[in-house]
Amino acid sequence: MFLSKFSLDVTSDKTSFYKETLEASAQDPQKLHNIFSSLLKPQAPPAPSSLTAEDFGTFYTEKIEKICQTSTSVPTSSTSHSQHSATPSLKHLSTIAAEEVLQIIRACNPTTCPLDPIPSTMLQTISPDLLLFITTVINGSLTSGHLPTAFKISRVIPILKKPALDPSDSNYRPVSLLSFLSKIIECIVYNQLSDYLQQNKLCGLNQSGFKATHSTETALFY
């Protein structure tokens, strides 16, 4: 009974949400086009029948094993250790206020994963009503050091590296789609780790990857 009522409530909320969104964008053809494209976007074609999930799993498992066999371990340097011995250690992550959680939710790109129970855009809209519960889950994860099992699950989709490549061969790159709330926690942890590294000057001066205001262009200048 409760499941049926929940399903009806979600359907009703979806209808109201998209109706209001369409009415608000009635004078903007570009927004209307984007909305209809997101609703009517066809599903990606299935992988060729000649390749199975086991084939993809075996291919990437063997690839990782080859990388591990060919890579050499980097010797630790006692000098480097002594230079950073006085750096305060990051023993735990800090809890986050509900207002900051709301800002991050609204700022994130609302990409919806098949694992999300509702569209990310709808979650952003109703996030003030769910903010207490979302903040409790996030802070519980930060203080305990454990991520809920549901947030560890991803939908892995193989995508051809280039359109001209042979689809019957292993010319794919795996794309892992995480749930929206999992990305929120990932963003919060990333912000805290980045602040710690920058405040203690632990980031390499020549690093450009995963660094704000840096790119492949800045990497060429160093």
Please report which residue ranges of 90-222 form alpha helices under DSSP H: 98-107, 120-144, 149-152, 180-199, 216-221
Cβ burial, residue 125 (10 Å; 0-12/13-18/19+): middle
Closest CA to 109 of 32, 16, 188, 183: 183
Q: What's the half-sphere exposure (Cβ side, CA atoms, 13 Å) at 171?
A: 11
Contacts of residue 21, defined as CB under 8 A and 6 or more positions apart, other chains included, come to 35
Quickly state the pLDDT bin for 77 (edges 50, 70, 90).
Answer: very low
Q: Pairing mode, if any, of strands 172-178 and 154-160?
A: antiparallel
Tell me how far apart the alpha carbons of residues 38 and 50 are, in angstroms, rounded to a whole number: 30
- pLDDT, average across residues 4-22: 81
Q: Provide the residue count of the chain.
A: 222
- pLDDT, average across residues 184-197: 92
Domain range summary for the chain, segments of one domain joined by +? 93-222
Q: What's the half-sphere exposure (Cβ side, CA atoms, 13 Å) at 66?
A: 6
Other C-beta atoms lying within 10 Å of the C-beta of residue 208: 16
End-to-end CA distance of the chain: 63
Residue 47 has pLDDT above 60, yes or no: no
- pLDDT, average across residues 132-141: 94
Greater pLDDT, 38 or 141: 141
The tokens of 60 are what? 């990437």
pLDDT-above-70 percentage for the chain? 85
Greater pLDDT, 202 or 4: 202
- The pLDDT tens digits for 84-123 are 456 678 888 999 999 999 999 999 988 878 889 888 999 9
The tokens of 215 are what? 């790119």
Residue 181 has pLDDT above 60, yes or no: yes
Q: Phi then psi for 214, rounded to 5 degrees?
A: -125, 155
Helix or strand or coil: residue 168?
A: coil
The answer, as to whether pTM is greater than 0.85, is no
Tell me how far apart the alpha carbons of residues 197 and 193 are, in angstroms, rounded to a whole number: 6
The alpha carbon of 81 is separated from its chain's Cα centroid by a whole number of angstroms, namely 33
pLDDT-above-90 percentage for the chain? 27
